[in-house]
Amino acid sequence: MRIKIIALAYVIYTVLIASVVSALPINSDLGLTPYKDEFIFRAQTRYTLKTDDPTSKDRESEIVTVPLVGVYGFTAKASILVRVPIIYKELRFKNGPNRGDHGLGDTTVLGKYRIHTNNFKGGTSRLSLLGGLELPTGEDDETDAAGKLPPPLQLGSGSVDALVGAAYTYQTLDHEMDADLRYIFNQEASDFEFGDIFRYNVSYQKRIFPTTLPDKGLYSQWNALLELNGNYMDKAESLGNEVASSGGHTLFISPGIQFVGPRLVYEASFQYPIVQELNGDQLETDYVMALSMRYQY
Amino acid sequence: MKIKMKTLVVWINLMAVVLAVSIYAQEQNQKAIIKVEGLYCPFCSYGLEKQVKKIEGFKNVQINIKEGTAEIEFAPGVKVPEKAILTAVEDAGFDLDGVQWLNKGRKK
């Protein structure tokens, strides 16, 4: 049962940290399209706390992820993204030793191609398609005093997983709306297969400062954001059997703030779950905090 | 004699001013104002600045996000094809809506 619960926690966790490379929204990574020959570096810190244990074990989970992301534009329409996360995770029990690990996680390589552009004075709308792989660069056979860590506590999945998605953005000088979706086809490794994941994000941003734009030059601005970040997860399978306490639907409402300069972006977001329809006895998420910066070369 | 000397000084000064103005005018940068569609934020507009810097003869650029324009200065005497400007704008992910030259073609 413990493995099942942790498996689901890991699936949720995987979905949460998958949102690391946003250009525009904070909690989704699919909106960014660099221009030709542009390189953007992004570093983010995400802290996830889970203390709501429906069982009597009184478990708590803490996850800290630092995804390091590089995005390069081959052309104005085609770009590639590489994300390497550094992960710390710990599962605490009321009676018993803590379990967890820290180190390098699985690397994501994602290609993006813009198929639709409508530029107009003071704004743009764009639609892009995405596809890529999650590569098993994280350890998946770590052990501790109690033996081999269960798959959800490993840093990597051990499998090569494909993902596809799409991202739409509509931006003006004052407002911005983004929407994206992604499907991850998780594969089996070491007799364990995480369930497939469907993610969807909607984001609205409004410039709050300066209230009036200067007539000349590049300026800096502050944006207020409100995001909805949703995840559907299939049940995991262990040794070919369905894991009962896995899978479900989670939806976060995520207010945030963003400082946007000509070369730098600083941003912060707080994610609060408003829907947690989880199968079985899974730890529920209390909140997620994200801080990040972007720099373009 | 005094009057002739004064006249000579005036003429010399006048010629010096004309010469200075002439040299200044010949060394003025070429200026183009381009209309760009799709400009919407400073982070994105930096890409345009970076792309136009690649154009041969580039000297300076001032982007006006609010109006969707960029004023670009090029070195005098350098031939700047509009196709180079078009390519720079498109490589930045925007559309070019027009180019207006303010003083094109001045040569040293």
B14-54 pLDDT tens trace: 777 776 655 555 567 899 999 999 988 888 888 899 999 99
Q: Which residue of A has its CA nearest to B38?
A: A119
Residues of B in contact with A78 (CB under 8 A): none
Residues of B in contact with A219 (CB under 8 A): 42, 65
Band the pLDDT of A18: cuts 50, 70, 90.
Answer: very low
Instruction: Determine the residue among B33, B35, B41, B87 to mutate to test chain A binding: the one whose Cβ has the most chain A Cβ atoms within 10 Å.
Output: B41
Q: Quick check: A293 pLDDT over 90?
A: yes
Contact A215 B63 (CB under 8 A): no
Q: What is the mean pLDDT of residues A227-244?
A: 95
* Model confidence, pTM: 0.82
Contact A124 B38 (CB under 8 A): yes
Q: Are A277 and A249 in contact (CB under 8 A)?
A: yes
ipTM, interface predicted TM-score of the complex:
0.76
Å between A201 CA and nearest CA of chain B? 21
A154-212 pLDDT tens trace: 999 999 999 999 999 999 999 999 999 999 999 999 899 999 999 999 999 999 999 98
Q: Are A178 and A201 in contact (CB under 8 A)?
A: yes
Q: Quick check: A146 pLDDT over 70?
A: yes
Distance of CA A22 to the CA centre of its chain: 9
pLDDT at A218: 78
Amino acid of residue B27: E
Instruction: State whether residue A177 sits within 8 Å of chain B by CB.
Output: no
Residues of A in contact with B41 (CB under 8 A): 171, 173, 221, 260
> A273-279: long-range contacts (C-beta < 8 A, 24 or more apart)?
A275/A230, A275/A249, A275/A250, A275/A251, A276/A248, A276/A249, A276/A250, A277/A248, A277/A249, A277/A250, A278/A8, A278/A12, A278/A245, A278/A247, A278/A248, A278/A249, A278/A250, A279/A8, A279/A235, A279/A244, A279/A245, A279/A246, A279/A247, A279/A248
Instruction: Determine the residue among B43, B51, B61, B73 to mutate to test chain A binding: the one whose Cβ has the most chain A Cβ atoms within 10 Å.
Output: B43
A87-128 pLDDT tens trace: 999 999 888 889 999 999 999 999 999 999 999 999 999 999
Q: Measured between alpha carbons, how far is A256 from A272 in angstroms, rounded to an integer?
A: 11
- Residues paired with residue B83 on neighbouring β-strands, in sequence order: none
pLDDT at A152: 84
